[in-house]
Amino acid sequence: MNIEKAIRNLQLRGFGVQHFATGEEAAAYLCEQIRDTEVGIGGCKTADQLGLYEKLSEHNSVFWHWRVPGMETLQKANAAPVYITSANAISEDGEILNIDGRGNRLAGQVFGNKKLYIIAGVNKLRPDFASALERARNVAAVQNCKRFPAQTPCKLDDRCHDCRSAERICRGLLVLWAPMMGMEAEVILIDEDLGM
């Protein structure tokens, strides 16, 4: 993948971009930038791998339903001034794709928060929109579904079938072409394979 092209195109679209060699460096940067505020974290394996909940909790109030389950936590996360999530895929053209089931992670990227951080390993980069969508549907969404007891066709052959299962967890697709009006968004790219 051409990370320099992705960085250039994300910046042209209005995203701030930080590029780090390691997740440890990225986590240190985020801990330096985010202090004395409220932070929401969307369902995000990358944040978990970087230990962000524990690290950010030292100087912030952090709301993450993976640590404190419940609707109240989801609502507080989406109302926090700072929101952290990842991407299922990022195209080299600067498009950021995410698939979600409940919608809280998508909502946190489009409304209500002042600052959005999208953290992603280089494994999320794809050359164009079509290959980014392919990754989001057939890699990230399938891996995510395997974390749950849902009986969906993708569990059998690792492919999205656009199923009509009542247990389907991939119910909405969000594509960010630019930061939403009134929201500052920064992409944190890490030269490691992270997340799903």
d(CA 66, CA 93): 32
Contact predicate 20/191, CB 8 Å = yes
CATH number at residue 74: 3.40.50.10420
The SS3 call for residue 61 is: strand
In a domain, 196, yes or no: no
First to last CA, the chain: 17
Q: In this structure, what token pair is assigned to residue 145?
A: 């579904």
What letter would DSSP give residue 139?
I
Comparing 34-43, 51-60, 98-107, 152-161, which segment has the lowest mean pLDDT?
Answer: 152-161
Contact predicate 186/15, CB 8 Å = yes
In a domain, 57, yes or no: yes
d(CA 61, CA 37): 6
Write down the residue that tokens 């960085």 correspond to: 7
Question: Residue 102 sits in which domain range?
Answer: 3-190
d(CA 85, CA 98): 10
pLDDT band at 169 (very low <50, low <70, confident <90, very high): confident
- Work out the number of other CB atoms within 10 angstroms of the CB of residue 195: 23
Q: How many domains does the chain have?
A: 1
In a domain, 195, yes or no: no
In a domain, 85, yes or no: yes
In a domain, 91, yes or no: yes
Contact predicate 93/56, CB 8 Å = no
On the question of pLDDT at 17 being above 90, the answer is yes
For the residues 125-146, what does the mean pLDDT come to?
92
On the question of pLDDT at 172 being above 80, the answer is yes
On the question of pLDDT at 145 being above 80, the answer is no
d(CA 185, CA 169): 26
On the question of pLDDT at 166 being above 90, the answer is no
On the question of pLDDT at 149 being above 90, the answer is no
**Per-residue pLDDT tens digits for 19-47:** 999 999 999 999 999 999 999 999 999 99
For the residues 171-186, what does the mean pLDDT come to?
96
SS3 of 17-34? EEEECCHHHHHHHHHHHC
In a domain, 100, yes or no: yes
What is the pairing mode between strands 38-41 and 61-64? parallel
Question: If 0-12 CB within 10 Å is exposed, 13-18 middle and 19+ buried, where does residue 2 land?
Answer: exposed
Which carries the bigger pLDDT value, residue 187 or residue 170? 187
